[in-house]
Chains A and B, each alone.
Chain A
Amino acid sequence: MQVKTKLLFEHFWSGEGNLSYFIGNPENREAILIDPDLEIVGTYLLKLDKDNWLLKAVIDTHNHAEHATAAPLLAKLTGAGYIMHELAPSSFVTDRVRDGDERTIAGATLRFYHLPGHTPDLMAVGWENKLFTGDSVFNRSCGRADLPGGDPGRQFDSLQRVKNEFPPQTEIWPAHDYSNQTHTTLEQALRENGRLQFTDREEFIRFMDEYYATNEKPDDLEYYVAFNAR
């Protein structure tokens, strides 16, 4: 029986609580990056170069509104594919995926789940027992739904889907955390994440509308939405 290669996994912090992820196959040196941030593009490039990784795919979980994505640059420099949901606006995407699609890259089988709400194109990426949730479910909260393309009702539906569709041991690895926590388990989030406690859609929409009515919008919001969508 063939022994399965143990893949390497790493996370990166950047900006104000942005998280990005690396998956690497030590056997064939192939690698994947999820939600890379342009601010630390040098960190990714040094890592790829130093340890001789061959970047096969860069994935953005959605069109980011708070920071510039490094994915198009990394894809051009390395020849990697750029994967996003089919609704993503960026013209640099080379592989547009839909809900339920699977890709095996660098020995990792990734499955994509369309979870709109924060943006129309948001998708989570499932790998082994990990779910890279982007700005759908956070460790102790969820992505806001008041930015361009956001929809609190759809965000509610997406949260319900995560609650119902994944086993409790699933690890949630979000695109942001503002308290230095990288991940949580769904089991823990079901108990501790206030946003997952809502059972009424209208109540959730009211809560989100009120909560974010006084919440400051990210700096340079329109600029990043347009820049990442170019």
Chain B
Amino acid sequence: MAKAMAPMIIDVRSRDEYLREHIPGSRNIPLEHIQESIEELREELWQNPAVILTCRSGRRAREAAQLLKAQGCGDVVVMEGGIMGWKKQGGEVRSLKTGISIMRQVQIVVGALILLGFFIEPIWFLVPVAGLGMLVAGLTGTCAMASVLAKLPWNCPGNVESCPIE
């Protein structure tokens, strides 16, 4: 009988979400970067049948699985329920970062900008600026504010460099 082998778990959430909480040994390739890694992934997936995709709830992982299949990488299994389901089943997680997530920080800053612009007449333009920023973020899937916030000191713990990303 052969030895049982741990699967390779690919977590397709953002880097920030991954750093905050992930399955030990899992590898982070954010959904928006799957396309860039497609050649390498095709080779890996064709040779390794024990690959499982995960995200927070399973939705993004299913999207990634469809993308991979469409690009000829084969059928890849999705962890139903994602990390939330994993934790519910008593699965272990590791955290390299604590505090409020980048997306929540974005929500706080945008909310504050809108309120300020609404109540303080001379800076009224903050309201449409915040609206435009959110619209562009939604349409392109890249949030400029999130990238700026990610560079702030409280979002860059020292041990991130040693973190096994990709």
Contacts and interface: CB of A to CB of B under 8 A. Distances in A.
Interface string B65-92: 0000000101101001000000000000
A92 B49 contact: yes
Interface stretch (B1-9, B24-32, B109-117, B149-157): B1-9
Main secondary structure, interface of A, reads helix
A79 B6 CA distance: 10
B74 A80 contact: no
B75 A77 contact: no
A205 interface: no
Interface string A68-103: 100011011111110000000000101000000000
B4 A78 contact: yes
Interface string B1-42: 111110100000000000000000000000000000000000
Given A38-B77, A227-B74, A76 B50 contact: yes
B46 interface: yes
A76 B47 CA distance: 12
B146 to A, nearest CB: 33
Contact of B50 (A77, A94, A223): A77
Given A42-B80, A73-B77, A227-B74, A94 B46 contact: no
A154 interface: no
A178 to B, nearest CB: 22
Given A72-B49, A76-B49, A76-B50, A227 B75 contact: yes
A41 interface: yes
Contacts of B72: 223
Interface residues on B, range: 10 to 19
A81 B1 CA distance: 6
Contact of A75 (B2, B48, B75, B77): B2
Contacts of B47: 230
A56 B4 CA distance: 11
Contact of B3 (A41, A56, A79): A79
Contact of A79 (B2, B46, B49, B75): B2
Interface string A38-69: 10011000000000000010000000000010
- Of B5, B49, B50, B72, most buried by chain A (CB within 10 Å of CB) is B49
A59 to B, nearest CB: 15
A73 B49 contact: yes
Nearest to A227: B74
A72 B76 CA distance: 12
Given A72-B49, A73-B49, A230-B46, A79 B1 contact: yes
A94 B2 CA distance: 9
B74 to A, nearest CB: 5
Given A38-B77, A73-B7, A73-B77, 19 more contacts: A38-B75, A41-B77, A42-B77, A56-B1, A68-B74, A68-B75, A72-B49, A73-B49, A73-B50, A75-B2, A76-B7, A76-B49, A77-B5, A78-B4, A79-B2, A79-B4, A79-B5, A80-B2, A230-B46
Interface of B: 1-5, 7, 46-50, 72, 74-75, 77, 80
Q: Which are the 4 A-B pairs with shortest beta-carbon distances?
A: A72-B49, A79-B4, A76-B50, A68-B75
13 contacts: A38-B75, A41-B77, A76-B5, A76-B7, A76-B49, A77-B50, A79-B1, A79-B2, A79-B3, A79-B4, A79-B5, A94-B2, A223-B72
